[in-house]
Amino acid sequence: MAATSPIHFDVEHLREEVLRTYDRVARDPHGNFHFHRGPRYAVDYLGYDAQELAQLPESCTARFAGVGNPLRIATVLAGLPGIDPSQAGPYPGETVLDHACGAGMDLLLAARKVGPHGRAIGVDMTPAMRACAQASAELARLVERVQIRAGYMENLPVDDASVDLVISNGVVNLAPDKTRVFREIARVLRPGGRLYLADVVVQRELTLDARENPDLWAACVAGAMVETEIPLLAAEAGLVDGRVVQRFDCFRDTSAEVKVAKDLFIQGVNFYARRM
């Protein structure tokens, strides 16, 4: 399972490599990376609304490097049987946590949806990304409802049961201990709170050589979960109704696509779960 990194894996080296990679994205989003970035990618590959993105500062949209579209999950849920419409959202007045928010594109989209009486909290470990997110919130005139905090997804600087909705886009795969990440998500959610998770999945386990490659971890590939693992990890953390609701060919035409076997069917997914 990819729930934890391989034995003897250098976790600190991985964290440093991830930090270096996303510091580079923050400083030069048009550089050479194993993954797509930017608003055109978000629209063409992931189904974001071009008009909504045009209303956000380029300082956040140019640095977007997600693998799915977590805020679209609400629309998908509305058409699924057995889902209470009240479990969609985000709704005005709610508190949303963007779990490893990067430069803040999803964070600011959520801030617009929760309105002036809501709150959008972004947590990220990369100082340059946090600076971009803060500057973007100021440019978008959303700073009164947005908070940017330094922290790690394994140890969120957020109170217990204080969040209505956690959104996450392409970052859980970067965590060496995914069990702990899901437990942290469950901890901060209020009873009835929801998780809208976009992340990378494969259909079978990667080779040990691939999973021990820090470059491929930083590219969101080597730490990818087998798709069947996600609902199991969510359930072990106390979340229910876990299901994949959408899929995205987010690595098409990237160098990461050719670095692992194509029969892995590596892709992005939107995943929904909620806390009891």
- 11, 5 in Cβ contact below 8 A? yes
Answer yes or no: is 2 within a domain. Answer: no
Answer yes or no: is 4 within a domain. Answer: no
CA torsion through residues 93, 180, 102, 149, sign: positive
CA distances to 29, 71, 98, 255 from 120, in Å = 24, 13, 7, 34
Round to whole Å and give the CA distance between 228 and 243. 10
pLDDT at 109: 97
Answer yes or no: is 231 within a domain. Answer: yes
Answer yes or no: is 6 within a domain. Answer: no
pTM: 0.91
What number of residues does the chain have?
Answer: 276
Round to whole Å and give the CA distance between 66 and 63. 9
Q: What radius of gyration, in Å, describes the C-alpha atoms of the chain?
A: 17
Answer yes or no: is 5 within a domain. Answer: no
Encoded amino acid at 186, one letter: A
Q: What is the pLDDT of residues 13-29, one digit of tens each?
A: 778 888 999 999 999 99
Residue 243 structural domain: 11-275
pLDDT at 256: 65
CATH number, domain containing residue 256: 3.40.50.150
Round to whole Å and give the CA distance between 26 and 108. 17
Among 178, 193, 187, 179, smallest CA distance to 241 is for: 193
Answer yes or no: is 125 within a domain. Answer: yes
- 243, 19 in Cβ contact below 8 A? no
In tens digits, the chain (276 residues) has pLDDT values of: 455 545 455 677 778 888 999 999 999 999 988 889 999 999 999 999 999 999 999 999 999 999 999 999 988 887 666 666 555 679 999 999 999 999 999 999 999 999 999 999 999 999 999 999 999 999 999 999 999 999 999 999 999 999 999 999 999 988 889 999 999 999 999 999 999 999 999 877 766 666 666 666 666 676 888 899 999 999 999 999 999 999 999 988 887 665 554 556 789 999 999 999
Round to whole Å and give the CA distance between 248 and 259. 18
Terminal C-alpha separation, the chain? 26
Question: For the chain, how many structural domains are there in total?
Answer: 1
Among 218, 211, 197, 196, smallest CA distance to 264 is for: 211
Answer yes or no: is 42 within a domain. Answer: yes
Q: What is the pLDDT of residues 198-249, one digit of tens each?
A: 999 987 776 666 666 666 666 667 688 889 999 999 999 999 999 999 999 9
Answer yes or no: is 239 within a domain. Answer: yes
Contacts 24+ apart (CB under 8 A), 38-42: 38/62, 38/63, 38/64, 39/64, 42/66, 42/69, 42/105
pLDDT at 1: 47
